[in-house]
């Protein structure tokens, strides 16, 4: 059992490097996505074990729609299949499953699966697992501004898709890239970042634990003097 000094409430991960992982092995990019699912399982189980309350995962960006159609199709099929496949484990482990993003761009069948999963797991409370699908930070802020204006309101946070979810305490990005790629632009205002060269399919529990220890060593000041 891990004994962390300080546990983040909300950990978010930009799961990057699946394509390069596959390429290194002379395989098609989609094999990297398949293997990446194992890493998702590993970090989800770790969050439940360590008492992390929110885990959010950037799975597909608005910009990712511009990838080759075959890769997009495989990814979408994989998402639906994995959701169905994880159902029993979610119930057993008390995982509430949430999808956030531009749902209008998803297929009817995937939206049906998502709705079913979200409704069936809504009462679970050990961990909230958020999958960002067809999401971008600029899109989020724009849709929030439109809805806020229509409501004659002035509190934008209420209209972001993340309303009610605490901002991420820790954001991890794998594969050596050190950028946000249009992820949670508003919500990451005071998030701690950890970047690792490890490709997502190779990111497992031990390294995850290392990032939690790194987080615990950070001094978060939020602009104040301590
Ligand atoms: C992350 O891996 C998964 C998605 C963006 C869907 P990539 O597919 O971006 O893998 P690389 O970055 O090309 O290696
Ligand atoms: C960011 O990865 C999106 C996800 C991990 C879902 P990308 O691979 O799309 O980002 P860029 O293109 O390298 O910035
Ligand atoms: Mg990438």
Q: Does 153 participate in catalysis according to the annotation?
A: no
To 10 degrees, what angle do helices 69-93 and 108-121 make? 20
Q: Does 64 participate in catalysis according to the annotation?
A: yes
Secondary structure of residue 52 in the 3-state scheme: coil
Show Cβ contacts of residue 226 under 8 Å, excluding neighbours closer than 6 positions: 219
Q: What is the per-residue pLDDT for 68?
A: 97
Query: Closest ligand 1 atom to the C-alpha of 59?
Result: 6
pLDDT of residue 1 exceeding 70, the answer is no
Which residue's C-alpha comes closest to atom 9 of ligand 2? 64
Query: Closest ligand 2 atom to the C-alpha of 14?
Result: 5
Residue of 144, 145, 89 whose CA lies nearest to 117: 89
What integer is the mean pLDDT of 139-144? 98
Structure tokens belonging to residue 177: 């890239």
Express each pLDDT in 157-170 by its tens digit. 999 999 999 999 99
What integer is the mean pLDDT of 181-202? 98
Q: How far is the CA of 79 from the centre of ligand 1 (A)?
A: 14
Handedness of CA 203, 116, 161, 108 (dihedral sign): positive
For ligand 2, residues with CB inside 6 Å are: 14-16, 58-61, 64, 177, 179, 181
Task: Name the closest ligand to CA 179.
Answer: 2
What integer is the mean pLDDT of 75-86? 97
Q: How far is the CA of 16 from the centre of ligand 2 (A)?
A: 6
What integer is the mean pLDDT of 199-214? 98
Residue of 66, 45, 62 whose CA lies nearest to 101: 62
What integer is the mean pLDDT of 51-59? 98
> What burial class does residue 179 get, using C-beta atoms within 10 Å of its C-beta: 0-12 exposed, 13-18 middle, 19+ buried?
exposed
User: Looking up tokens 């605490």, which residue turns up?
Assistant: 166
Catalytic residue among 3, 18, 28, 64: 64
Q: In what order do the strands lie in the sheet with 10-14?
A: 95-100, 127-135, 54-61, 10-14, 170-173, 192-195
Q: What is the per-residue pLDDT for 226?
A: 86
Express each pLDDT in 98-116 by its tens digit. 999 999 999 999 999 999 9
Express each pLDDT in 170-183 by its tens digit. 999 999 999 999 99
Q: What is the per-residue pLDDT for 206?
A: 98
Q: Contact at 8 Å (CB) between 171 and 14?
A: yes
């Amino acid at each position: 059992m891990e004994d962390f000094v300080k546990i983040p409430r909300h950990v978010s991960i930009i799961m990057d490097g699946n394509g390069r992982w596959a390429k290194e092995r002379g395989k098609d990019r989609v094999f990297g996505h398949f293997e990446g699912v194992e890493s998702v399982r590993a970090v989800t189980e770790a969050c439940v074990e360590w008492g992390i309350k929110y885990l959010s995962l950037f799975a597909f960006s608005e910009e990712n729609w511009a990838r080759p159609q075959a890769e997009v199709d495989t990814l979408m099929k994989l998402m639906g299949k994995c959701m169905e496949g994880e159902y029993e484990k979610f119930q057993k482990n008390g995982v509430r499953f949430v999808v956030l993003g531009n749902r209008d761009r998803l297929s009817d069948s995937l939206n049906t699966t998502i709705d079913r999963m979200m409704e069936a797991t809504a009462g679970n409370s050990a961990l909230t697992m958020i999958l960002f699908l067809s999401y971008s930070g600029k899109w989020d802020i724009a849709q929030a501004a439109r809805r806020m204006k229509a409501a004659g309101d002035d509190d934008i946070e209420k209209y972001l898709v993340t309303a009610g979810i605490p901002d991420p305490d820790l954001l991890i990005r794998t594969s050596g890239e050190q950028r946000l790629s249009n992820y949670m632009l508003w919500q990451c205002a005071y998030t701690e970042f950890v970047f690792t060269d490890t490709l997502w399919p190779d990111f497992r529990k031990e390294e995850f634990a290392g990032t939690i220890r790194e987080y615990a060593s950070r001094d978060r000041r939020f602009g104040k003097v301590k």
